Amino acid sequence: MANLTSPSDFLLLEFSNIQELQMLHFFVFLAVYLTAMTGNLIIILSVALDHHLHTPMYFFLMNLAILDIGTISVTIPKSMANSLLNSRSISYSGCVSQVFFLFFFGGSDFAILMAMSYDRYVAICKPLQYETIMHRGVCMQMAGSAWISGMIYALVHTAGTFAITFCSDMVNQFFCEVPKLLKLSCSDLYLVEIGLLICSFIIVLGCFIFIVLTYMEIVATVLRIPSVKGRKKALSTCLPHLTVVSLLVFTGMFAYVRPPASTSSDLDIVFAVIYAILPPLLNPFIYSMRNKEIKTALLKLFSSGHFFVITNKAVP
């Protein structure tokens, strides 16, 4: 194969070569994108405009919603544009940007979820010390650390991925996915990125174990609460977060923890959609469906005289 050390662009996988099916893909992705954007923006506005939600838990939730908007904006708009224009190309710089921002938002997302698990641990296991431990300065530091760690994580993986020599420009995915890019390598440097991916898996697994151990402590504490109502209230604040963590971890495993295939298949697209699109789409609904405070804030947003007015009524 020709040596394409730095190709001017890459060719992404199209969903279909039939124009009508490409338009169907465009409208499906448009509906998904608008739904995800609307859900996450509503979460952000609810937390920002209702002073009753100015607590550490909702501060981290707002960060999560911002990251989810970023995550879903990395892949879907370009895919929709290609379907609309009957094109497959993405520029080299565009591919670099997709890889960087996917790792940036994904890494920061997981770090924020860890911060949220620690917040729930302190709130339930050390309630008398909660305000002392989780004060505004600590929350800002934890959120800042999450974003910075995501940026470092993204820089390392992006540099490792695009240091390789490419022998082809055909990416068998609808966005620039690292495993698919590594298959285009004709140099030994791809081993570096594979090593980084293995390290990432170990780090993610370690973080997941930390979250699991945290929740084991939380469950043990909840079971000691004498009141049934108190136990239900404590668990209700944890279940959405645990659901989101599980969704992110297990959808990611679909794409990365499975035997590699020599050829692309429709399942590759399905797995990519599951881990890159499903979490940002579902997270707002997971957090709002069982959360009375979020529901109350939403009612205030939409029942007030105009959208940006928040009443001073106490949350029941």
> Is the pLDDT assigned to residue 104 strictly greater than 80?
yes
Continuous segment of H or E residues that includes residue 260: none
Task: Answer whether residue 197 is part of any domain.
Answer: yes
> Is the pLDDT assigned to residue 262 strictly greater than 50?
no
Mean pLDDT along residues 94-110: 92
| Location of structure tokens 């151990």 | 213
CATH number (domain holding residue 108): 1.20.1070.10
pLDDT at 242: 79
pLDDT at 313: 43
Task: Answer whether residue 72 is part of any domain.
Answer: yes
Domain count, the chain: 1
Q: pLDDT grade, residue 311 (50/70/90)?
A: very low
Q: Let me know: does 255 contact 247? Beta carbons within 8 Å.
A: no
Count, residues in the chain: 316
Mean pLDDT along residues 256-270: 61
Task: Answer whether residue 252 is part of any domain.
Answer: yes
Task: Answer whether residue 181 is part of any domain.
Answer: yes
pLDDT at 193: 67
Q: Which of 269, 117, 283, 103 is nearest to 199 (CA)?
A: 103
Give the pLDDT confidence of 185-222 residue by residue, as tens digits: 877 766 776 777 777 777 777 788 888 888 888 888 88
Q: Let me know: does 12 contact 92? Beta carbons within 8 Å.
A: no
> Is the pLDDT assigned to residue 312 strictly greater than 70?
no
Give the pLDDT confidence of 127-184 residue by residue, as tens digits: 889 999 999 999 999 999 999 999 998 998 898 888 888 888 888 888 998 888 888 8
Q: pLDDT grade, residue 316 (50/70/90)?
A: very low
> Is the pLDDT assigned to residue 301 strictly greater than 80?
no
Task: Answer whether residue 50 is part of any domain.
Answer: yes
Least confident of 23-37, 96-110, 235-249: 235-249
Please tell me which residue, 239 or 138, carries the higher pLDDT value: 138
d(CA 135, CA 130): 8
d(CA 198, CA 126): 36
Helix (H, G, I), strand (E, B) or coil at 89: strand
Task: Answer whether residue 311 is part of any domain.
Answer: no
pLDDT at 290: 61
Which amino acid is it at 128?
Answer: L
Task: Answer whether residue 316 is part of any domain.
Answer: no
Angle ∠(272,39,239) on CA atoms, nearest 5 = 80
Give the pLDDT confidence of 22-56 residue by residue, as tens digits: 888 899 999 999 999 999 998 898 888 888 888 99
Domain that holds residue 118: 9-303
> Is the pLDDT assigned to residue 306 strictly greater than 50?
no
Q: Let me know: does 113 contact 245? Beta carbons within 8 Å.
A: yes
Give the pLDDT confidence of 61-76 residue by residue, as tens digits: 999 999 999 999 999 9
Mean pLDDT along residues 254-265: 56
Q: Which of 22, 133, 115 is nearest to 63 (CA)?
A: 115
Backbone angles phi, psi at 105, to 5 degrees: -70, -40
Mean pLDDT along residues 294-310: 62
Q: Report the chain's mean pLDDT, rounded to a whole number.
A: 81
pLDDT at 4: 52
Q: What are 211's two structure tokens?
A: 């979250």
Q: Let me know: does 231 contact 225? Beta carbons within 8 Å.
A: yes
Burial of 65 (0-12, 13-18, 19+ CB in 10 A): buried
Task: Answer whether residue 310 is part of any domain.
Answer: no
Which amino acid is it at 233?
Answer: K
Continuous segment of H or E residues that includes residue 154: helix 136-161
